[in-house]
Structure 1
Amino acid sequence: MTTKQKAIIGRLESITLPELAIADLQVRVDTGAKTSSLHVDNIVKFRKDGKVMVKFDLHPDVHSVDNIVSCEAPIHDIRRVKSSNGTSEQRYVIATPVHLGDEHWTIEITLTDRSDMSYLMLFGREAIGDKFLVDPSKVFVSSLR
Structure 2
Amino acid sequence: MNNKKIIGRLESIALPDLAIGDLQVRVDTGAKTSSLHVDNIQKVVKKGKPLVKFDIHPDVHNVDKVVSCIAPICDIRKVKSSNGEAEQRYVIETLCELGDEQWMIEISLTDRSDMNYLMLFGREAIGKRFLVDPSKVFINSQTNDEIKV
Regarding TM over 0.5, the answer is yes
For 2:137, give the aligned amino acid.
V
Provide the alpha-carbon RMSD of the alignment.
1.0
Could you say which residue in structure 1 is the equivalent of 2:147? none
1:23-42 alignment, distance < 5 Å = 23-42=21-40
1: CA distance between counterparts of 2:108 and 2:140?
Answer: 23
Query: Which residue, out of 132, 135, 144, partners 1:134?
Result: 132
Q: CA deviation at 1:4?
A: 5.6
2: CA distance between counterparts of 1:52 and 1:4?
Answer: 41
Could you say which residue in structure 2 is the equivalent of 1:50? 48
8 A contact 2:11–2:138 mirrored in 1 = yes
2: CA distance between counterparts of 1:142 and 1:49?
Answer: 40
Q: CA deviation at 1:50?
A: 1.6
1: CA distance between counterparts of 2:49 and 2:119?
Answer: 26
Could you say which residue in structure 1 is the equivalent of 2:98? 100
For 2:107, give the aligned amino acid.
I
Could you say which residue in structure 1 is the equivalent of 2:5? 7
For 2:66, give the aligned amino acid.
I
Measured against aligned partners, the alpha-carbon deviations of 1:24-68 in whole angstroms (never above 9, x if no partner) come to: 000000000000000000000001122100000010000111000
Measured against aligned partners, the alpha-carbon deviations of 1:58-82 in whole angstroms (never above 9, x if no partner) come to: 1000011100000000000000000
Could you say which residue in structure 2 is the equivalent of 1:77? 75
Q: CA deviation at 1:140?
A: 0.2
2: CA distance between counterparts of 1:128 and 1:23?
Answer: 18
1: CA distance between counterparts of 2:110 and 2:55?
Answer: 11
Moved more, 3-12 or 82-91: 3-12
What is the TM-score with the length of structure 1 in the denominator?
0.96
8 A contact 2:13–2:141 mirrored in 1 = no
Q: In the comparison of the two structures, how many residue pairs are matched?
A: 142
Gaps of 5+ in 2: 143-149
Gaps of 5+ in 1: none
2: CA distance between counterparts of 1:83 and 1:49?
Answer: 33
